[in-house]
């Protein structure tokens, strides 16, 4: 690109940055929502500093879950509309100065909003495009815009402190049967002791259960909702980063791609794999509770793990789950699979709310 054109684009980004800060300063309840482009362009640390300077509450979108996990930012939680935490939903939908930074508008993020986001009071900044209310400025690089905001930002007088989301923890170690909420609490307990694992979550109730995990690096196939993502993704995480990953996968998805764990031994990989096994297509049964086609039979994944060169454990109580996770995290050199038996009708509260919200649309 011609140097003059580059300078013009940067100057345009400066102008829009000033207008954005003026809009946020005029708002009574400004909120910053960060999306996937913040990571795509390597802007997480800079956006976190910007949020601290502005003293503005920050949320991620459903597709942006895991953003700013390693940054010191005033992160209030993940926006999921009617399926999410009511406090976060109200924070976003009641805002008169919602700043969508790197956030792609899609049904996945906003399809179950309690009420429609008022675009007249919204700022949208994507790479090469900034939209403020109903007017759009093209050819604005996202990095240049963030640079302008960093240089000019001052604390917003109207910004209010929002307490960060509290993740469930302290799962009782008793003989009670396991429900999806116990899985999230048990994993949070594990990470409080062993540090935070990068997480790969599959679709279905795994995806919604993972929303209750502490903030950590997180990948999921949320946009396309393709099954069978978590196990190959966990393998990819360890190959690419060297960090030991944690995969959360349903029994139906594991039937599709769980066999990839057979490659772990020859590549020296040892992910921890939690199979939420309810012998059912849980996502489908959430929408069609009486459907018989959602039953997929009971598979012994713990035995399969041993045959593939890993170590498998079957757990049916909360005490067994806690023990198996601790043993799995403490054992290195081979993949650890924990076959978590869950009742067919035991769905996470988030999935129930999501299904109810979709049913009203």
Reported as a single tens digit per residue, the pLDDT across 80-116 is: 887 788 888 889 999 999 999 999 887 666 766 656 6
CATH code: domain 3-152 is: 3.40.50.1220
Give per-residue pLDDT as tens, 216-271: 888 988 766 788 999 999 999 999 999 999 999 999 999 999 999 999 999 999 99
Is residue 9's pLDDT more than 70? no
Ranges for all domains in the chain classified under CATH 3.40.50.1220: 3-152
Residues 102-141 as b or e (16 or more Cβ within 10 Å = b): bbbbeebbbebbeeebeeeebbbbbeeebbbeeeebeebb
Specify the pTM: 0.80
Token output for 203: 């679709």
Judging by DSSP bridges, how do beta strands 135-138 and 246-250 pair with one another? unpaired
Question: How many whole angstroms separate alpha carbon 45 and alpha carbon 25?
Answer: 23
Sheet holding 218-220, edge to edge: 218-220, 199-201, 246-250, 272-277, 336-341, 311-315
The confidence score (pLDDT) of residue 133 equals 80
For the chain, first and last CA: distance in Å?
Answer: 46
Is residue 160's pLDDT more than 50? yes
Sheet holding 135-138, edge to edge: 75-79, 58-61, 30-34, 97-101, 122-126, 129-132, 135-138
Instruction: Phi first, then psi: give them for residue 338, nearest 5 degrees.
Output: -115, 110
Q: Please tell us whether the domain made up of 180-360 is placed in CATH 3.40.50.970.
A: yes
For residue 218, the cross-strand partners are 199
Angle (nearest 5°) at CA 349 between 253 and 70: 75
276 contacts 209 by C-beta, under 8 angstroms: yes
Token output for 113: 């909003």
Is residue 65's pLDDT more than 90? no
Burial of 241 (0-12, 13-18, 19+ CB in 10 A): exposed
Ranges for all domains in the chain classified under CATH 3.40.50.970: 180-360
């Amino acid at each position: 690109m011609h140097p003059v054109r580059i300078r013009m684009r940067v100057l345009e980004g400066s102008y829009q940055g000033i207008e954005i800060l003026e809009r946020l300063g005029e708002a009574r309840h400004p909120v910053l929502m960060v999306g996937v482009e913040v990571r795509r362009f390597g802007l997480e640390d800079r956006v976190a500093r910007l949020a601290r300077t502005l003293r503005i509450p920050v949320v991620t979108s459903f597709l942006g879950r895991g953003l700013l996990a390693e940054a010191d930012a005033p992160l209030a939680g993940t926006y999921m509309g009617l399926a999410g935490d009511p406090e976060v939903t109200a924070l976003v939908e009641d805002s008169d100065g919602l700043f969508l930074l790197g956030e792609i508008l899609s049904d996945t993020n906003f399809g179950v909003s309690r009420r429609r986001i008022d675009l007249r009071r919204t700022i949208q900044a994507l790479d090469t495009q900034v939209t403020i209310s109903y007017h759009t400025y093209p050819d604005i690089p996202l990095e240049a815009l963030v640079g302008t905001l960093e240089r000019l930002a001052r604390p917003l007088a109207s910004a209010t402190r929002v307490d960060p989301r509290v993740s469930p923890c302290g799962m009782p170690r008793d003989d009670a049967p396991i429900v999806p909420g116990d899985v999230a609490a048990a994993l949070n307990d594990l990470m409080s002791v062993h540090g935070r694992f990068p997480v790969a979550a599959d679709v279905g109730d795994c995806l919604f259960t993972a929303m209750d995990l502490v903030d950590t690096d997180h990948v999921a196939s949320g946009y396309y909702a393709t099954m069978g993502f978590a196990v190959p993704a966990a393998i990819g995480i360890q190959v690419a980063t060297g960090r030991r990953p944690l995969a959360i996968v349903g029994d139906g998805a594991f039937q599709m791609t769980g066999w990839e764990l057979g490659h772990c031994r020859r590549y020296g990989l040892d992910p921890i794999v939690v199979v939420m096994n309810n012998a059912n297509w849980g996502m489908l049964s959430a929408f069609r509770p009486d459907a018989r086609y959602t039953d997929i039979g009971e598979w012994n994944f713990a035995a399969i793990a041993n045959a593939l060169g890993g170590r498998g454990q079957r757990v049916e109580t909360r005490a067994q789950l806690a023990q198996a996770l601790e043993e799995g995290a403490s054992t290195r050199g081979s993949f650890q699979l924990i076959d978590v038996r869950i009742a067919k009708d035991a769905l996470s509260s988030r999935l129930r709310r999501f299904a109810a919200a979709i049913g009203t649309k």
